[in-house]
Amino acid sequence: MALTLVLKPHERMIIGGAVMKNGSRTTEFSVENTVSILREKDIMSDSEAITPCRRIYFVIQLMYVDSGCLSEYMAMFRELTEDVVSAAPSTIDYIERITDLTSDGKYYQALKLARKLINYEEELLKHVH
């Protein structure tokens, strides 16, 4: 079954590692095979990965769109998650579920959960004096 996408004018997305940008009009198209897809709202740039949990999200994003360097990204992911759990043990439930998803190759689902981890991190940081 094809996935139909509607892109807003000038909206960016990543399809199978290729960064694409829509033209000046709304465009609708179908993707008829299985490929990694990230819409602009889900794409995090390197410069936005400024906190430990944002760096986890960014590395998972790299896993999803660039499978050629997967072992390198997995090593980075393990190091980042160990650091986060060490600094904030209350994140362990998120980290364990994200780790399970990445181990199963379910990177998009891991990204969705990593977004929740980022929100949790923001709440924790509000209470740090």
My answer on whether 58 and 73 are in the same domain is yes
Report field, pTM of the whole predicted structure over 0.95: no
Within 10 angstroms of residue 20's Cβ, the number of other Cβ atoms is 12
Give Cβ neighbours of residue 36 (< 8 Å, ≥ 6 apart).
14, 15, 16, 17, 64, 65, 107, 108
My answer on whether 66 and 119 are in the same domain is yes
Q: What is the pLDDT along the chain (129 residues), one digit of tens a residue?
A: 788 999 999 999 999 888 899 999 999 989 898 889 999 999 999 999 999 999 999 999 999 999 889 999 999 999 999 999 999 999 999 999 999 999 999 999 999 999 999 999 999 988 876
Within 10 angstroms of residue 39's Cβ, the number of other Cβ atoms is 14
- Specify the 3-state DSSP secondary structure of 126: helix
Q: How many domains does the chain have?
A: 2
Q: How far apart are CA 53 and CA 44, in angstroms?
A: 12
Domain residues for 31?
A: 3-42
My answer on whether 72 and 58 are in the same domain is yes
